[in-house]
Amino acid sequence: MKVILTEKQYEKLKGEMEEALGVPEGILEVGEEIYDLIIKNLEEFEGDIDDLNQDGIEFEHTFKVGDHYFYRVKLNFQIEEHEEAKKVDMVGMSSENEAELDDRFVLQSRRDPDEIIIGFKFFIESGQGVEDIVDYIKKYRKEDIPSLTHEIKHAFRDVKQKGDKPRDRSIYVATQMIRETFGYVPALNEFLFNSYFIHVIENVVRPTEMAAEMRINNVSQKEFLNFFLNTEMIRRLKQIQNFSYTEFKEKLKTKDIDRIKKLLDAIDSDYDGKSDEEIVNEFLKLFLVNLTNSKNEVMKEILTNNMFEKMFGLRGDKDQFFRKFVSYTTKFGYDYDAFFESEEKYFHRVANQMIKKLAKLYAMAKKDSE
């Protein structure tokens, strides 16, 4: 029996299907609309780069994502002159949010549910102005709308979700923080980026990002497989899926050893008389200790919310919660081999799961007859 749907029924079913795939109804259209409003408001901005950094931009408009309405968008800018910038380079985009711990040890968003706050970071050559930022955003509209939609999904998730686990947030933040030092070593920088890339907080928004890329490129079902395999997202996930700790150590020893030595010199670590393999092993031990400490420091900061706790430390349930977390982060001790072997298995499992999940977006591709 052939079932005939009205247009209204079809749109409702389509929206429910997209929600099931992890793409809130309306978010792809909202991503494009906000991007174009960013261009419009930047074109109308009266001021220079310093003013933009200080004041940002705010505009009001009604956007519906899923069953939620946003009414305001705030844009914060961090624009810096950089010697390696080629006129204008966007180096980061983020959804800005604050959270606080509730009595159940869950991080609850303090975001105003009416607004979306997006942060932009640019490196520019000396002499560039706001009009050059506008030119850049116009030029890379197709490439950057998926990233903006990714950040809007973070904002939507903050409003709709019942909170984040402090453990997840601590690992997420610490992994990014430690790149500031250890990211100087290319192979380790890539490892840390991959850890961030497949973190649960990022995995939630990946389907929306890919769906936005599909929409902006008008991908049909016939074109989907070729599109899918050639996206930067899938290439990255394939790389993570194939991560080998053995190959990683070999890169450190054969390609990155000079940078490792420079980093060790900076902290006055003596490696005279040691082989390259021994130096790499000492470096990985140092890395694991610093990563563990960073995770613990971030967790303590999350749990500490008054002056008494800052002065005298955590007490009661908070102290027990923190000690349990420390037991988790220190389970490998100084055994960096065990840590990286565990991460290798985690990389393979999560990347495989994400590739399978993203492949289901085929259902959102344009039908070949359309």
What digits encode the pLDDT tens for the residues 150-161? Answer: 999 999 999 998
Say how many residues make up the chain.
370
- Does 13 have pLDDT greater than 60? no
Q: Are 282 and 274 in contact (CB under 8 A)?
A: yes
| Residue-averaged pLDDT of the chain | 92
Provide the pLDDT for residue 161: 86
pLDDT band, very low/low/confident/very high, at 10 (cuts 50, 70, 90): very low
User: Is pLDDT at 361 greater than 60 in this prediction?
Assistant: yes
- Yes or no: say if 24 and 66 are a contact pair by the CB < 8 Å rule: yes
For residue 369, with 0-12 CB atoms within 10 Å meaning exposed, 13-18 middle and 19 or more buried, which class applies? exposed
Residue 85 has pLDDT above 90, yes or no: no
pLDDT category, 29, cuts 50, 70, 90? very high
Q: What is the pLDDT of residue 370?
A: 57
Q: How far apart are the first and last CA of the chain?
A: 23
Query: Model-level pTM?
Result: 0.90
Q: At 86, is the pLDDT very low, low, confident or very high (cuts 50, 70, 90)?
A: confident
The reported pLDDT for the residue numbered 5 is 41
What's the pLDDT at 143?
96
**Between 80 and 11, whose confidence is greater?**
80
pLDDT at 76 over 60: yes
For the chain, percent of residues with pLDDT exceeding 70: 94
What pLDDT digit, counting tens, does each position of 89-102 carry? 999 999 988 888 88
pLDDT in tens, 35-66: 999 999 999 999 999 999 999 999 999 999 99
Amino acid at 155: A
What digits encode the pLDDT tens for the residues 298-354?
A: 999 999 988 898 899 999 999 999 999 999 999 999 999 999 999 999 999 999 999
User: At residue 287, does pLDDT exceed 90?
Assistant: yes
H-type alpha helices, the chain: 7-20, 27-43, 49-55, 130-139, 141-160, 166-177, 179-182, 186-197, 200-203, 206-216, 221-229, 232-241, 245-254, 257-266, 276-303, 307-312, 316-329, 336-359
Instruction: Evaluate if residue 7 carries a pLDDT over 60.
Output: no
The pair of three-digit structure tokens given for residue 326, joined into one six-digit string: 């420390």
Tell me what the mean pLDDT of segment 258-269 comes to: 93
